Amino acid sequence: MNALRITWRVTRLNFRAQLEYRAEFLLNVAIGAIWQVSVIVFATVLLARFTGMGGWDSSEVLLIPATRMLAHGLFVLLLGRVHFIGRQIQEGRIDIYLMRPMPVHRQVQLSYFPTNALGDLTVAAGLMVGALSRSELDWSAGRISYLVAAVVGGMLLEAALFTALACASLRFPAADYWSRWLEELLGTFGSYPLNVLPRAVGGFLTYALPLAFVAYLPAAVLTGHGHDTGVPYWLAASAPLVGVLAYLGSRLLWRWSLRHYTGVNG
């Protein structure tokens, strides 16, 4: 309870701190929205020029970026500061966090308020409403529950990937470079059916770098394409659970990495 109260108070302070630079605050909200719009633009252009992408119709394809973007917006809002751990390591801030009576991970998450998440979530929610209204599926309670689970699972999976990179940054600060790439990959290749790609490349994005579990596989299950993904149906359907397990695993990795963190002073 005490931890929750502290978290709430720090978050309020961080929000007020963001308001100190008004132009930057507004630009931050805008950038969240604009970044998400870029995903929509990319998907829309592809859909307009290449109809019937991978055997999916456009309303089904839209469900993929909508799920991914909503998951991403929640990730940015709740866990996104893990993104900047590399910089905090370079600036020696992790060493300061280690001296304080609060878990390092929580301090990282409370380091600033993610204003851009406001724009992210607004656009993502808009796209999700648009995707659901165009969808011809029967949105039963079960389907809606699965969609909610998929969004949460996608958020946790994205958090797991960035947490794993943060662990690498504790050992090699330059590994921070990879997080920008990962974000780019998620934005570009996480927003349409991966079955348009060659099987080997699709396999890479499923098993090596599990982007497919963020939105593609849950959307495939929801739209009835679950048997055409090249992945066992039970695994595709378990995508939300994969997110939960991946995040738990990444947090264990974080704990282990932090125990072995030496910092610049040895």
Partner 1 sequence: MAALSAWRVARVTPLGELNAPPRMTGVALRLLVQVVLVASLWHGLYSHTGTTAGLGESQAVTYAVLAVLASRLRELDQFAGRDTVIQHMHFGTIVYWYLRPLPPQRYYALRALGEQVYGFAWALGGYLICLAAGVVEPPGSAAVTGVFLLSLLLGQWVLHYIMLATDQWCFWALRNNSAILIIIFAQNLLSGVYAPLWFFPDWFVTMSSFLPFQATLNVPLSIYIGRIPLSDAAGQLAVQAGWVVVLALFTRFLWRRAALRVVSQGG
Binding site for partner 1 (CB under 8 A): 21, 23-24, 27-28, 30-31, 34-35, 38, 41-42, 45-46, 48-50, 52-54, 87, 90, 116, 172-175, 177-178, 181, 185, 188-189, 196-198, 201, 205
DSSP letters for 83-105: GGHHHHHHTTHHHHHHHSSS-HH
Choose between 127 and 150: whose C-beta lies nearer to partner 1. Answer: 127
On whether the CB atoms of residues 261 and 250 are closer than 8 A, the answer is no
Choose between 119 and 226: whose C-beta lies nearer to partner 1. Answer: 119
Choose between 149 and 185: whose C-beta lies nearer to partner 1. Answer: 185
Choose between 91 and 139: whose C-beta lies nearer to partner 1. Answer: 91
Quickly count helices (H) and strands (E) in the chain: 13, 0
Number of Cα atoms under 13 Å in the Cβ half of residue 239: 35
Choose between 36 and 67: whose C-beta lies nearer to partner 1. Answer: 36
Q: How far is the CB of 45 from partner 1 (least distance, A)?
A: 5
Q: How far is the CB of 266 from partner 1 (least distance, A)?
A: 20
Which residue, chain included where needed, has tokens 């943060």?
A: 166
Length of the chain: 266
Q: How far is the CB of 208 from partner 1 (least distance, A)?
A: 10
Two tokens at 38? Answer: 């870029």
Two tokens at 70? Answer: 């909503």
Q: How far is the CB of 31 from partner 1 (least distance, A)?
A: 5
What is the spatial distance between Cα 77 and Cα 249, in angstroms, rounded to a whole number? Answer: 21
Q: How far is the CB of 21 from partner 1 (least distance, A)?
A: 6
